């Protein structure tokens, strides 16, 4: 579940003092390097920008996001703690509207990594709509984090308590798909949430619809179709078969697998 900071073009007045212009340049460089995955150099540039009061808080935001990305890749607890320190000690009043959205996404990621899934989902819920101002990819990532957090939260509850949680996910994903049929996160999570809610027939239908609509995605659905295929073959088919008698399960799984493979073949690119 990837999440990275999008580059933001800084608006600097032409009359800014040389030190302020230099700090702004360092901050812009840090963002650019971050987006390129060059985290060591991005961190160095962000620290330079942090030394100037005019860019200290935006620089701390970049440092926090760099540390979070490193933690995602390495699971080194020190990176998570450095991210927490950077984000909690910045002055949010010094951030613009876009940066404040990024900050809240960062808060949510830390809560998620702390296994506070419900809290992470609540933070993300408040910025799902505004995350679209960061671009379509950033919105997709925020949506994915939100649904993932609710899914993990639901797994800590009793089966009877999970329904309302998955209903929230289903309702949001339906809304997203009505707005953008090519929304890959929404297509995946509609299937996963329907399965989590126990509506296996809805999940099966949504998986088929998602496979077809995947062609609308920028990558022609390669990533979404791979995720849907794993979800269907490793979870949905066994779940549907489990509702049958033991004697019928093997035959049912073989039949459903054959049906799914035929469907994929009919709707795959030649």
pTM given for the model: 0.84
What is the distance between the alpha carbons of residues 75 and 253, in angstroms, rounded to a whole number? 37
Quick check: 3 and 72 in contact, CB under 8 A? yes
**Residue 25: its pLDDT value, please?**
82
Q: Are residues 164 and 58 in the same domain?
A: no
Averaged in consecutive runs of 10 residues, what is the pLDDT profile of the chain (270 residues)?
33 42 76 89 91 92 94 92 95 92 94 96 92 84 94 94 96 96 96 97 97 92 95 96 85 94 90
Residue in this structure with the two tokens 């963002």, named with its chain if needed: 31
The set of residues, in sequence order, having a beta carbon less than 8 Å from that of 9 and lying 6+ positions away, is 28
User: Would you say the C-alpha torsion 46, 49, 51, 53 has a positive or negative sign?
Assistant: negative
Please report whether residue 137 resides in a domain. Answer: no
**Residue 23: its pLDDT value, please?**
55
Q: Residue 230 burial by CB count (10 A; 0-12/13-18/19+): exposed, middle or buried?
A: exposed
Q: Are residues 194 and 92 in the same domain?
A: no
**Residue 113: its pLDDT value, please?**
96
Q: Are residues 100 and 18 in the same domain?
A: yes
**Residue 21: its pLDDT value, please?**
55
- Domain carrying residue 42: 1-115
What is the distance between the alpha carbons of residues 135 and 118, in angstroms, rounded to a whole number? 25
**Residue 218: its pLDDT value, please?**
86
**Residue 11: its pLDDT value, please?**
30
Q: Are residues 107 and 165 in the same domain?
A: no
């Amino acid at each position: 579940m990837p999440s990275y900071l999008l580059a933001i073009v800084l608006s600097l007045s032409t009359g800014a003092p040389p030190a302020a212009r230099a700090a702004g340049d360092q901050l812009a460089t840090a963002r650019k390097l971050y987006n390129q995955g060059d985290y060591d150099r991005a961190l160095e540039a962000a620290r330079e920008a942090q030394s100037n009061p005019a860019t200290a808080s935006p620089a701390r935001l970049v440092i926090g996001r760099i540390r979070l990305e490193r933690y995602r890749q390495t699971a080194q607890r020190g990176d998570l703690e450095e991210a927490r320190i950077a984000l909690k000690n910045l002055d949010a009043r010094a951030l613009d509207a876009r940066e404040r959205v990024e900050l809240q996404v960062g808060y949510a990621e830390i809560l998620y990594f702390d296994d506070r899934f419900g809290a992470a989902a609540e933070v993300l819920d408040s910025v799902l709509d505004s995350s679209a101002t960061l671009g379509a990819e950033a919105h997709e990532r925020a949506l994915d984090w939100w649904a993932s957090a609710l899914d993990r939260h639901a797994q800590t509850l009793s089966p009877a308590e999970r329904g309302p949680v998955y209903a929230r996910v289903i309702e949001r994903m339906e809304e997203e798909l009505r707005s953008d049929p090519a929304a890959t996160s929404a297509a995946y999570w509609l299937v996963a949430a329907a399965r989590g809610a126990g509506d296996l027939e809805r999940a099966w239908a949504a998986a088929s619809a998602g496979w077809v609509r995947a062609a609308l995605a920028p990558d022609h659905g390669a990533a979404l179709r791979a995720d849907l295929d794993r979800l269907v073959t490793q979870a949905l088919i066994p779940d549907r078969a489990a509702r049958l008698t033991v004697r019928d399960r093997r035959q049912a799984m073989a039949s459903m697998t054959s049906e799914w493979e035929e469907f994929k073949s009919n709707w795959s690119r030649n």
